[in-house]
Each structure stands twice: as C-alpha cells, then as structure tokens.
C-alpha cells in the first residue's frame, strides 16, 4: 500500500500538496491529518466530494510499504505515521520546500522555495499533466498562503512562475480570496491589536526586535500572519510572538525576520521547531513564557557574548551510582545529597540516569530492593563541555529533563542542571 500524507495543523500549502501528490502518484492513498487549519476545514466542507482523502486511523499501518510525505520532512510532524519510522521495509519519498529533515528518504525533491506546492506544480507542468480549474485554485491558495501572495522574503522566481501557470490553468481568484481572507479574521485582528497595544522594542546585538507574549485559548489559525503583520507595523528587524495556551499548558512560538543573519529557522530548531531564514515556529509544552523570551533574546544576542561554556558552569566531580546499586540505596543518596537524580555508570561507562520520577515505576514495596538498572532511564541525552548554557537549556526543555551529563570523549566529566543554566541566563539578562 502506498500513502501520501502531510503535516499536522494542515494549511493550504500542505493540503494542496497532498492533492497534487495524488495526481502525481495515482496509486497512493491521500491521508489527511485530523488536525487541520480552520480555513482549510471550511474549504473542505464545501469541496468534500471533489477532494477525497482518508483519515490516519483508517489506515492499517502494517500494510504501508511506501510513504510519500509532502510539505514536511520530520516524523514528528506527521499524525500517527510516526509509529512506523523504525520500520526498515518502508520506502519514504519526500517533497519539501525546506532542506534537511530526519526521514531518510530513498527519494526526495527538496528545494528552498516559498511554497511546497510550487515544486509539485513545476513537476506537473513538466510532465504535462492536466489540472482542473478547481485544483488550480486550491494550488494557488497554498502558494499564496505560504508566500503571502508572493510578498514574503522566502519567495523565489519559481513561485511566481508556478502562480502564472496556475492562473493559466484557470485558478479562480475570487474563490481564492474568499478563503484566504479568513486567514485574517476577527480573532486574528484582536490578537494583533492586543500585541500592538502593549508592544515593545529592544535593541540587541545591533538588531531591533520585539518579543510579545500573549495568552490565547483554543486553536487560533494563522498566528504566523499576525506575527508577520506585527513585525511590519512595528518596523523591527525581527518579531516573536509567544502564544500561551494555559489550558493546554503549551506555548506556540512564532518568529519573523527580515534580516538573513537573524535566522529564525535556526532559532526555532533549537527550540524543537522548524522554519527557514525569514520565518519559523516551535510548539513547546510546559514552559514558562518568560524563559522562552529570555532564550530568544539570548539567541539574538548570538554567541558573541556567551563565551561562557558549559565547562565553566557544570558541577563536578559528578556523583554517580553503579548499575547494581539498589533502589533503596539510591533513595538514601537522593536524601543525603539533596539531589533529585544521578547518572548511572557501569564501570567507566555512562549507561543511564535515575531520577525521582523513575521511582514511580515501582509497583510493589519489595521492588525497592531491585537494582537501579531495572528502573533507570537508559535514553541518556548528554552534551559536550564546549557547548553554551543556551544549548544546554534548550536541550533540557526539548526533552523535558532536569539535568544533562556533560561528556567529553565518552567520559562523564560533569553535570549541568536546569537550575544552573537558568541561573546563568537570568544573571546575564537583567530584564
Ligand atoms: Mn509549506
């Protein structure tokens, strides 16, 4: 079975790419994630019969042999299909307008253009495949949404050629604007006004930037457009919106920049998200927006001032326990040392981390006699001593862990905790 799918929070570019994919690969089943942007949902409600797609849960993952991914290049962005990433018998094809990714495709078409649909339209025109006016309209919607109607800095000549081709194929601008204009509706306007009313600007490292935290509730589409407009109106080099949803305990961080040196994609990748030079976003769970804001400032600051390395900050020597230490003894050590976690070693080798959380895995009281290796977490994330406190902080946020072993040439030489790196950040960044 062949599947085509795209990223969660499906926008028009992703949906258009999915449909274009089903023309290019007629034998593949198009699978649309359940979480799609509201304007795409409205469009679909009216065009249900024309664009037939399946839901991820309708697919028997066992039967999937070929997976074609459009407008995405990371497993984590897919709905449900992430489960099959370890299977070696699956051929992955990737179409994306961002380079990189973690999908290890056997074939890919990845070029930096403004919209993913551009790459697919280019191919469709090359093979002279006919597209209907309705398809052309959808494709142009995707193209316009991702490129801000060809105005975003990431727009390339190919995007404009593709737009011309789609107009030639009968794309209907009236239909298009009625769906795209929803992107900036009443709620987006309120948020933008809210941001503007309390706007701030600062000068960091020679750049003017603005970082604004706004509380939201429930899904609000197209916050990226709001940040885009906010940056333009404020006329700053870069703007960041931190959208805090208290109910979901999550933060959407969105950035826009007009300066190539201020690479938003790079910043967002460090926060666990993605993007490109001019635009990007990250979704973070259980984080304090003030810390996110400090992180952003530190990123803009760049490494120029953070000559401080982790080796200056970490604690050492590191107290460790042997894999065969009993849980009972570990509990005692936690109490005596006043710590909440320690690395576990076997001989010289770091093999795991035991933290207070792992104690919850015990079901019976007698298990307290068991060796630590039965309960420790063996997925050890570590960091090199030459890295910055910032990199340590973002690794800890990304993996939701409280401490990071510092490892040099395979040897454990120190440990750094979230408190260490946060203390450093706050001392460095008087607000
Ligand atoms: Mn896209």
* Distance from Cα 33 to the centre of ligand 1, integer Å: 15
User: What separation in Å is there between the alpha carbon of 288 and the centre of ligand 1?
Assistant: 29
Instruction: Give the Å distance between the CA of 118 and the centre of ligand 1.
Output: 10
**Residue 301 and residue 2: Cα distance in Å, rounded?**
46
Tell me how far the alpha carbon of residue 295 lies from the centroid of ligand 1, in angstroms.
26
What pLDDT does residue 183 have? 63
- Residue 215 near residue 244 (C-beta atoms within 8 A): yes
| Verdict on whether the full-model pTM lies above 0.75 | no
- Coil, helix or strand for 32? coil
Q: Which among 363, 355, 359 has a CA at the least distance from the CA of 379?
A: 355
> For the structural domain made of 310-428, what CATH number should be given?
3.10.580.10
Ligand 1 centroid to Cα of residue 185, in Å, is 21
Q: Provide the angle, in degrees to the nearest 10, between the axes of the packed helices 418-428 and 389-399.
A: 130
Tell how far the Cα of 36 is from the centroid of ligand 1, in angstroms: 13
Q: Cα(145) to centroid of ligand 1, in Å?
A: 9
Residues 6 or more apart whose CB falls under 8 angstroms from that of 267 comprise 255, 280, 296, 299, 300
Contacts of 76 (CB under 8 A, 6+ apart): 82
396, two tokens = 């800890």
Sequence-separated (6 or more) residues with CB below 8 Å from residue 369: 326, 327, 328
**Which class in CATH covers the domain with range 2-182?**
alpha beta
CA 334 – ligand 1 centroid, Å? 48
- Name the residue among 189, 222, 279 with its Cα closest to residue 39: 222
pLDDT tens for residues 356-389? 889 988 888 888 999 999 999 998 899 988 787 7
Strands 66-70 and 250-257: unpaired
Report the half-sphere exposure of 239 (CA within 13 A, side-chain side): 24
Q: How far is the CA of 336 from the centre of ligand 1 (A)?
A: 53
Model pLDDT, residue 424: 64
Instruction: State both tokens at 409.
Output: 């040439």
Low-confidence ranges of the chain (pLDDT < 70): 181-183, 303-308, 422-431
Classify 281 as helix, strand or coil. strand
Ligand 1 center–CA 424 separation, angstroms: 37
> Beta strands of 217-304 (E only): which ranges?
238-245, 250-257, 274-275, 279-285
Tell me what pLDDT residue 91 has.
94
Structure token pair of residue 34: 């359940």
* Residue from 53, 56, 71, 69 nearest 11 by CA: 71
CATH topology of domain 186-304: Diaminopimelate Epimerase; Chain A, domain 1 (3.10.310)
**How is the chain split into domains, by residue range?**
2-182, 186-304, 310-428
- The pLDDT score that the predictor gives to residue 429 is 36
């Amino acid at each position: 079975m062949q599947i085509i799918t795209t990223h969660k929070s499906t926008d028009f570019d992703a949906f258009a790419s999915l449909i274009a994919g089903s023309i290019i690969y007629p034998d593949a089943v198009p699978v649309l994630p359940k979480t799609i942007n509201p304007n795409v949902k409205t469009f679909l409600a009216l065009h249900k019969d024309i664009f037939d797609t399946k839901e991820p849960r309708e697919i028997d993952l066992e039967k999937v042999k070929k997976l074609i991914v459009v407008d995405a290049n990371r497993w984590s962005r897919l709905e449900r299909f992430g489960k099959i990433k370890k299977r070696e018998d699956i051929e992955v094809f990737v179409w994306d307008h961002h380079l990189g990714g973690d999908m290890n495709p056997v074939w890919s078409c990845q070029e930096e253009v403004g919209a993913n649909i551009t790459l697919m339209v280019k191919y469709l025109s090359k093979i002279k495949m006919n597209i209907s006016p309705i398809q052309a309209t959808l494709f142009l919607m995707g193209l316009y949404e991702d490129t801000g109607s060809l105005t975003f800095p990431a727009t390339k000549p190919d995007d404009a050629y593709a737009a011309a081709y789609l107009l030639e194929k009968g794309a209907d601008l009236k239909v298009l604007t009625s769906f795209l204009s929803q992107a900036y509706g009443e709620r987006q306007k309120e948020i933008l006004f809210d941001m503007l009313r309390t706007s701030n600007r600062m000068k960091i490292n020679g750049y003017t930037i603005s970082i604004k935290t706004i509380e939201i509730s429930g899904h609000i589409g197209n916050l990226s457009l709001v940040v885009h407009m906010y940056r333009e109106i404020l006329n700053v080099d870069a703007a960041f919106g931190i959208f805090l949803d208290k109910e979901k305990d999550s933060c959407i961080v969105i950035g826009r920049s007009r300066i190539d040196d201020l690479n938003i994609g790079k910043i967002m990748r460090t926060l666990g998200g993605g993007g490109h030079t001019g635009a990007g976003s990250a979704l973070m769970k259980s984080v304090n927006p003030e810390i996110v804001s400090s992180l952003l400032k530190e990123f803009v600051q760049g490494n120029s001032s953070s000559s401080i390395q982790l080796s200056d900050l970490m604690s050492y020597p590191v107290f460790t326990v042997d894999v065969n230490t009993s849980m009972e003894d570990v509990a005692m050590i936690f109490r005596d040392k006043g710590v909440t976690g320690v690395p576990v070693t076997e001989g010289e080798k770091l093999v795991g981390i035991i933290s207070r959380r792992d104690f919850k895995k015990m079901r019976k009281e007698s298990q307290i006699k068991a060796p630590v290796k039965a309960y420790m977490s063996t997925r050890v994330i570590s960091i090199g001593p030459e890295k910055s406190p910032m990199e340590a902080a973002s690794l800890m946020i990304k993996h939701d862990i409280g401490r990071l072993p510092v490892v040099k040439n395979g040897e454990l030489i120190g440990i750094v905790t979230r408190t260490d790196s946060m203390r450093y950040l706050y001392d460095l960044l008087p607000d």
